[in-house]
Amino acid sequence: MISFWERDTSLADVDFLLIGAGITGMNAAIALKSRHPLARVLVIDRHPWGGGASYRNAGFACLGSPTELEADLARFGEDVTLDLVEMRWKGLNRLLQKLEGADIDLAWCGGMEVFPAGDEEAYQRAMQIIPFLNKAFHHITGEPQNFYEAKESPAGIQELKGVIRIAREGRLHPGKLMQALSALAGGLGVSLMRGLEVSHLDPTDKGICVTLGGGTSILAGSVGIATNGFTADWYPGLPVFPARNQVFLSHPLDKLEWDTCMHYHQGYVYARRVDDRLLIGGARHLALQTETMSEEGITQPIRTYLTAFARRHFGLDLSAGFAWEWSGTLGVGDAKHPYIEDLGDRVHAAVRLGGMGVAIGTLVGESLAHRMAP
Ligand SMILES: Cc1cc2nc3c(=O)[nH]c(=O)nc-3n(C[C@H](O)[C@H](O)[C@H](O)COP(=O)(O)OP(=O)(O)OC[C@H]3O[C@@H](n4cnc5c(N)ncnc54)[C@H](O)[C@@H]3O)c2cc1C
């Protein structure tokens, strides 16, 4: 049962409707409302408070580690790889400009890629492409030496063949970032409704009928799909697939000497500080064929591997357990670029942000907005 009052307010027709309140959907909504202040812009998300990758990521504001970039160069070529670096750099700057003054715990702590003993070959290959990467990064970021060899391992990090330092890299608090984006959107007059799952879209003469769980619907002039790794759950056929990524946060530690963003093996393993705790996550390379779902979950092989990694390289005994464990859903595919397309006159999608959404989500959202209102 729906009252006239509900239909006339919460469920009234809208000009623009975004599905997904992550970094992509919120940036699209902000861009639409900024350009069209009188338009009715609504964001719908099925999760009551967060749930998407934007609320569950590691908070690295990063442009890529040497082995990640090397793998991308081999697989996708120079143009695609460097275009994405530029997109990450511009996207981060745009995001920070938008949220200027907001408290998102941003720290430009720099990064490092570590090469354990036994990874000599990977280390040599990475060292070889550093001059090329530095030249390209100089052009994009203005930083003449983004990557350089550390003469010795940072204090508290051990059993390594080598370390490559990364100059332009930071960390932030994803929850605070999303709160700041939501506040910005709310201040502009964007409406957000949570706890509502979109089940399907039907084109009509008057617009797109967006059907929600429970059978009610909202009519929208234009719809933007920003459901990233969850898209196949409700809108099959797009080239984006879910990939589960697990994150572990330790109890407070007395001994955590280093403060930088750590990457290992093409970024598959990552670690950073959160105050006096260690956040460590990823290791998806151990289960590429199986961690392909959007359901939440933690697996023992990945927990064991990351616990052993922390013991071997950080000298930390975390075998008693972590304070927090969670998983999030990446949207991945055969191509590395995000998939930003028109799916009809009034339905548009911006998905497949891979592990780069903090950096590129703002530009991807703005591109979606542009497609919804050229
Ligand atoms: C564990 C982890 C660590 C990561 N670390 C980093 C990092 O350090 N740096 C970085 O740059 N990137 C990182 N990423 C990637 C980054 O988080 C994502 O690329 C980015 O958040 C994607 O944002 P999005 O808005 O496109 O999607 P999401 O944030 O996933 O948002 C999609 C939203 O759609 C909603 N939804 C889904 N289906 C429906 C439906 N039918 N109806 C209504 N709503 C629906 C979901 O509830 C969700 O809120 C990480 C990702 C994960 C999972």
Q: What is the CATH number of the domain that holds 150?
A: 3.30.9.10
Closest residue CA from atom 41 of ligand 1:
198
pLDDT band at 214 (very low <50, low <70, confident <90, very high): confident
Q: Which atom of ligand 1 lies at the shortest distance from residue 245's CA?
A: 1
Ligand 1 pocket (Cβ < 6 Å) reads 19-25, 44-47, 51-54, 56-60, 197-198, 226-230, 233-234, 245, 247, 281, 328-330, 353, 355-359, 361
Distance 146 CA to ligand 1 centre (A): 28
Do 347 and 78 meet the contact criterion of CB atoms below 8 Å apart?
Answer: no
Q: pLDDT tens digits, residue range 38-85?
A: 999 999 999 999 999 999 999 999 999 999 999 999 999 999 999 999
Mutate which of 284, 299, 337, 353 to test ligand 1's pocket (most atoms within 8 Å of Cβ)? 353
- The domain total for the chain is 2
Residue 71 domain-assigned (yes or no): no
Instruction: Name the residue range of residue 305's domain.
Output: 110-168+241-332
Inter-CA distances, 266 with 60, 103, 341, 348, Å: 14, 30, 28, 31
Residues 292 and 307 in one domain: yes
Do 329 and 335 meet the contact criterion of CB atoms below 8 Å apart?
Answer: no
pLDDT band at 152 (very low <50, low <70, confident <90, very high): confident
Distance 200 CA to ligand 1 centre (A): 20
Closest residue CA from atom 50 of ligand 1:
57
Residue 195 domain-assigned (yes or no): yes
Residues 192 and 234 in one domain: yes
Q: Which atom of ligand 1 lies at the shortest distance from residue 351's CA?
A: 26
Type of residue at 11: L
**Which residue matches tokens 């709160």?**
179
Residue 84 domain-assigned (yes or no): no
> pTM above the 0.95 mark?
yes
Do 353 and 361 meet the contact criterion of CB atoms below 8 Å apart?
Answer: yes
Closest residue CA from atom 32 of ligand 1:
227
Residues 288 and 348 in one domain: no
Q: pLDDT tens digits, residue range 5-17?
A: 999 999 999 999 9
φ/ψ region of 266 (left if φ > 0, alpha if ψ in -120 to 50, else beta) reads left
